[in-house]
Structure 1
């Protein structure tokens, strides 16, 4: 089944994807220092990848955006202690807002065939 334009939670996808990029930017800015950062750097990169994965799942399976949004909220909260205060609070807030938008979004209803609309 083809998903038409406007049938995806675009605002939620954008917020969650930008949150993942923002949280992952600082540890990956100098990849040579990643081993020095240790477990904290690895946790930050994994959280960032998981957020980008949530955004990709929202894009690919918009009918299940609410579960990806809930995961983005949990990851946003986890980013506060594990990822440089959630990407200096900006990434965490973007993940929380994007996750809330995804949880609140519902796919448009399909009109019955032959309803003339």
Structure 2
């Protein structure tokens, strides 16, 4: 879920949806219903709130259209000041303006390149040298000279005196 949220303007979409829900909730309250009906713009209030909620969901689903949808949210928020009881008493308008500007300002985060993505053919020998250090190569060379059978024998018997152990000539 976290990777889904990071790959799109999640918070801006959430603020736009909340702005639309807040604008839609004002006409539905019993105390404000008579005030909204007296204004005669209840249809515009519903339209602005529903389009704003749809724009917020589309910001999530189509992040490539974030600039257009953010601009729509900003324009609807400014229109809600006139048509929807001072923009839902300035709360819905403020949420819509903030969500719209966040949608416009959001840019996709580029994934950090992994080690293999950033290598070119020219860098490959240097990367291989760094990956396999000289100490690792000396251990591998030492193991291959001894051989696995001699390492099992020397591990099974421990000489009491290290000077008493027979000296091997390097091959």
TM-score normalised to the size of structure 2?
A: 0.58
How many residues were matched structurally?
Answer: 111
Task: Tell whether 2:79 aligns with 1:78.
Answer: yes
**Alpha-carbon distance between aligned partners in 1 of 2:65 and 2:40, rounded to the nearest angstrom:** 32
Q: Assess if the C-alpha contact under 8 Å between 1:51 and 1:72 holds in 2.
A: yes
Q: Assess if the C-alpha contact under 8 Å between 1:13 and 1:55 holds in 2.
A: yes
Give ranges in structure 2 of 5+ residues lacking alignment. 120-171
Q: How does 1:1-117 map to 2 (within 5 A)?
A: 4-5=3-4, 6-30=6-30, 37=37, 39-109=40-110, 115-116=117-118
Q: Cα deviation per residue 1:52-75 (whole Å; 9 max; x = unaligned)?
A: 010111011012111100100000
Q: CA deviation at 1:110?
A: 6.2
Q: Whose radius of gyration is greater, 1 or 2?
A: 2
Provide the aligned C-alpha RMSD in A. 2.5
TM-score normalised to the size of structure 1?
A: 0.83
Q: CA deviation at 1:111?
A: 7.2
Give ranges in structure 1 of 5+ residues lacking alignment. none
Q: CA deviation at 1:8?
A: 1.1
What SS does the aligned partner of 1:8 have?
coil
